[in-house]
Structure 1
Amino acid sequence: MRAAAPGIGWLLVCAVLAGCASGGGQAVRPGVLLDDVQAQWGAPKAVYQHAQGQRVFYSPQPWQVRRLDFDALGRLQQIHEQVLSVAQFAAIEAGKWRAADVQQTFGPPARRATDADKGSVWSYFFLEYGVHRRARIHFDAGGSVARVDVAEDPAADDRYR
């Protein structure tokens, strides 16, 4: 019986760590108040106002972004567990999307590079099916999306940022 105890302890530690790594640890459900989410998960990565209420972003892992939509009363309406994906970035339409559309969909970028004359490039890093990827969104000087490049991230390592 003694040999089993350390194994059980190790499983308990792993379960607790997995819960903490999930971005707040505790699951939230539609109807919960924004204040309650913040009490559980801490300060969000970003908050944006929109006509229906607020859009809140959390990043429990460097490669993961969760998007939560709250109504005008501050109640959770919808949660998107991972908004960073090849399919989501492929849906961006060059010439139609602007910087605000990108931020409202994906949250703030991990990196920004700006050249006032030429525009800017925003980079997002994510993990999809075990492959580290980098999405680069190129904006023209007017703030419209010029193109989107998604590729395997050549700088990814085991720590992944």
Structure 2
Amino acid sequence: MRRLLAGWAALVLALLVTACATSGAVRLGATVDEVVARQGEPFAAYQLAKGQRLLYRPQPGQVQSLDFDTSGKLISMESVLTEPRLGAIAVGQWRAADVQQTFGPPNRRAADGEQGSVWTYFFVSYGVHRRARISLDAAGVVQRVDFADDPAADERYR
């Protein structure tokens, strides 16, 4: 009897885990309309040379990038608001449009006089609340990327 109950419990657990894993997930090959129907409207959308990118915020400090080909099929999904991804910004090569199309609009924009602006993105890295500050010159070219712990994390992530 114990073996039978253990078997049933394992089956029920497996079904619950499968249902949770697939309930909100989108799959490669889904159309833009299917993704929007399941995920809701993105917080940002960009037209790319070979398709379209939709950006979602599943939680504060996270950005999920979904890329679609020219036929409107989902071809890639990536969590982009990460320290390695932000650290890969090529200083002197990336422009404001590159940053925004990759990570979405910044959480904060501050003018830096006539020198340009500073964009701030807040994210979570291994459970630690962090911020990335991206300095752009007056022409919109990235000049520097700095990382630090986020001193106001308690207020922002509640």
In the TM superposition, residue 137 of structure 1 has moved relative to its aligned partner by 0.5
Residue in 1 aligned with 2:116? 119
Instruction: Looking at secondary structure, tell me which structure has more helix per residue.
Output: 2
Describe the SS at the equivalent of 1:77: strand
Residue in 2 aligned with 1:33? 31
Contact 1:132-1:153 within 8 A present in 2 as well? yes
* In structure 1, distance between residues paired with 2:105 and 2:68: 18
May I ask how many residue pairs the two structures share in their alignment?
A: 139
Residue in 2 aligned with 1:74? 72
* In structure 2, distance between residues paired with 1:36 and 1:126: 28
TM-score normalised by L of structure 2: 0.82
TM-score normalised by L of structure 1: 0.80
Contact 1:137-1:147 within 8 A present in 2 as well? yes
Describe the SS at the equivalent of 2:63: strand
In the alignment, structure 2 segments of 5+ residues that lack a partner are 1-15
Please list every run of at least 4 consecutive aligned residues from structure 1 whose deviation after the TM superposition is greater than 4 angstroms: none
Q: What is the aligned-residue RMSD (CA, Å)?
A: 1.9
Residue in 1 aligned with 2:3? none
Change (3 A) 1:116 1:35: farther
Structure 1 stretch 105-114 or stretch 61-70: which is displaced more?
105-114
* In structure 2, distance between residues paired with 1:86 and 1:114: 24
Give percent identity, aligned residues only. 59
Counterpart of 2:37, as a letter, is A
